[in-house]
Every structure is written in C-alpha cells, then in structure tokens.
Chain A
C-alpha cells in the first residue's frame, strides 16, 4: 500500500513554461486535494475534488487547473508558470468528503526562475 504518491519530487521551470504535477492514491479514497506550502503561511488549498468527476476551487486557485482523471488520480497543471508559484505542493486524499483525516503525499518542490 503506497498511500499517496506524487511526481515529480523536484522541478525547475522557467517563467512561462507549463507543467503537470501528478498525484495518485491507492486507498480507494473519494476526496482529493491540492495544497501549496510557503514559509510562514501554512498549507493553502488550491483545488479539491470531493468525488470522482467533481472539482472545485480552494483558497488560491489562480494560475492553476486540475483534472480528476479517475478515482485514483488528481493532477494539477500550471499553464504559464510564474516565480510566485515557487512553492512545495502537496496532494492529499480522504476517504469521504467532510470531516475526515487527510493523508498527504510526499510533496513536489517547484522552483520557477
């Protein structure tokens, strides 16, 4: 049982480039989330998917898009990267929508030059 996995672990982009961060979970969870973590700001929700086929914006969605490909996979896309998107990105999942434990992936460290 791998839990929540993310690829890549580390990425360097130039301003204006695009990329997709991948996330997959093998716990048969319904809900999945994307967060960014910046120093002194905690974890901020970018997008979430309460169940397969649904996605919704979180606190900081600008500059990002998401796809819930199937129940297992939830990807985050940066169409035109900006230096302000330099951050550590975490994917998380929970069994049900609502007040449930969220299990986090190992994170992707992104540097935009």
Chain B
C-alpha cells in the first residue's frame, strides 16, 4: 500500500523567512497530493493541492512542487507570519475512491 513520509517533524523559523516541508510517497499510481493545515485544537483544512499532471502550483505565499519521477512533493511557505504556526500534513491519494494516506505531520513554529 501507499506509504507517505514527511520531514521534518518540527520546524522553527523566524518571521519573514521561508519554510519548506518535504514528503515522499511509495505508490507511483498516486495522482493527487493535498496539503492540510491544522491549528491547535482545530480541524484540518486544505490549503493547497496538486495533481500529477502539474509540476508546481502557487497560491499567494504558498507553493507546492511535485516530482513524480522521484516520488516526492514539497510545500513552500514564503515570508512566514506568526499565523502560519500550525501542524501541516501532506497526503497522497491511495485510489480513485478518495482515500488518502497522510504523512505524520510537521509542527511549524514562526517566531517574531
């Protein structure tokens, strides 16, 4: 089955710096790669996603890149702000029925 590994598990950055989170997956058939943000005590919320026919996608300060050959994808947050502090989860589709395999999460702390 699909296995998703996420690194690092914790990431501390200074406000204004960039943050990068990396994920690898094992199943070459995976086609959909969403990223979720979870603030403390809240529900996970989708922040960006990418499909296998695209190499990069941007939404303001957030971008995701996908390398299907190497089976890895990354989340990039530029000009980090305190409100970016949260746990971020990557995921990869397991099948066409909507099942996702999540990574273990990255705790991002943005210090002023």
Q: B97 and A48: CB pair below 8 A? A: yes
Which residues A82-113 have CB closer than 8 A to chain B? 90, 94, 96-107
Residues of B contacting A40 in the complex (Cβ-Cβ under 8 angstroms): 9, 104-105
Residues of B contacting A42 in the complex (Cβ-Cβ under 8 angstroms): 6, 89, 102-105
Chain B interface: which size bin?
A: 20 to 34
- Contact A90 to B44, CB < 8 A, known contacts A40-B104, A42-B105, A99-B31: yes
- Contact A104 to B104, CB < 8 A, known contacts A43-B89, A50-B98: no
Q: A104 and B44: CB pair below 8 A? A: yes
Number of interface residues, chain A, beta carbon within 8 A: 27
**Minimal beta-carbon separation of A16 from chain B (angstroms):** 29
- Give the interface of A toward B (CB within 8 A): 31, 33, 40-45, 48, 50, 56, 58-59, 90, 94, 96-107
